[in-house]
Amino acid sequence: MLENKTRLLLILSQNSLDQARVIAGRATTAFKLPVSLQIVLRALIWVGLKRESHSVLFANIESQAKAVREKRSRTRRAGEGRQLASRSR
C-alpha cells in the first residue's frame, strides 16, 4: 500500500487531533481492528485530496492561508520593532 513513503511533520490544533482520535476509536470499535491515528489522518488527507473542487475544502484552505500570512506579518513587524529599538540605543 505505501511503497513510496515520505515523512511529514503535521501541526494540528488540539481540537482537530481530538476529533481524529474519536474517529480512530469509533473505527476500532466498528471494525474490531486496531485503527491508529496515523491511519485516520492518512484517510482524511486522501479523501480531502479527492474532493479538490469542494467549496468547503477551499474555504478552509483560504482561511488557513490567511491566518498563516497574518501570523507571519505580525512576527515580521514585531521583529522590525525590536531592530529599531536596538538601533536607537
Domains of the chain: which residue ranges?
12-50, 52-89
Please say whether the beta carbons of 30 and 18 come within 8 A.
Answer: no
Check residue 30 and give left, alpha or beta (phi > 0: left; psi -120 to 50: alpha).
Answer: alpha
- Tell me, what's the pLDDT at 8? 86
Q: What is the pLDDT at residue 15?
A: 96
Calpha distance 80→65 (Å, rounded): 22
- pLDDT tens string, the chain, 89 residues long: the values are 668 888 889 999 999 999 999 999 999 999 999 999 999 999 998 888 887 678 887 888 889 899 999 999 999 888 876 666 666 65
pLDDT, residue 55, reads 85
